[in-house]
């Protein structure tokens, strides 16, 4: 298994727009073979003294933190799926619609990475 993880600052006033956009985008990842996609809205994310989710994305007043991840069978699958998603006409249409508009999150402050699953427990 392989996971792409994201921490994103989202203005609280834009959460509904973010969720609507994520639903559309997440479906595209699933259509190409992602096993699962999670978009988790900050609920109990304190600002730490040294490190924290809010510090990682330099959260500002009026923003919340979104913690998201996409689950794949393998890194090879992830690479294949992400390539397909990036050229999908639905993603292009979403980006075209966003031209000239303020996006629902600041991508410049997004933290992301790919992770090998080291330990896994499931019911």
2-116: which CATH architecture?
Answer: 2-Layer Sandwich (3.30)
Asked whether residue 20 carries a pLDDT value surpassing 80, the answer given is: yes
Residue 81 pLDDT: 98
pTM of the model: 0.89
Asked whether residue 100 carries a pLDDT value surpassing 80, the answer given is: no
- Report the distance separating Cα 114 and Cα 33, nearest Å: 17
Q: Strand ranges (DSSP E) for the chain? A: 2-11, 36-41, 63-72, 111-116
Give the residue-averaged pLDDT of 50-54.
91
Whole-number percent of the chain with pLDDT over 90: 80
Return the minimum-mean-pLDDT range out of 22-26, 31-35, 100-104: 100-104
């Amino acid at each position: 298994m392989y996971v792409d993880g994201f921490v994103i600052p989202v203005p609280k006033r834009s959460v509904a727009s973010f969720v609507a956009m994520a639903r559309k985008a997440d479906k595209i990842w699933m259509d190409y073979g992602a096993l699962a996609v999670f978009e988790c809205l900050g609920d109990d994310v304190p600002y730490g003294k040294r490190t924290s989710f809010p510090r990682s994305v330099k959260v500002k007043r009026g923003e919340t933190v979104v913690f998201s991840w996409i689950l794949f069978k393998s890194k090879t699958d992830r690479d294949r799926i992400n390539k397909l998603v990036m050229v999908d006409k639905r993603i292009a249409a979403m980006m075209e619609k966003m031209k000239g508009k303020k996006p629902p999150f600041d991508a410049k402050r997004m933290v992301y990475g790919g992770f090998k699953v080291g330990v896994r427990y499931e019911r």
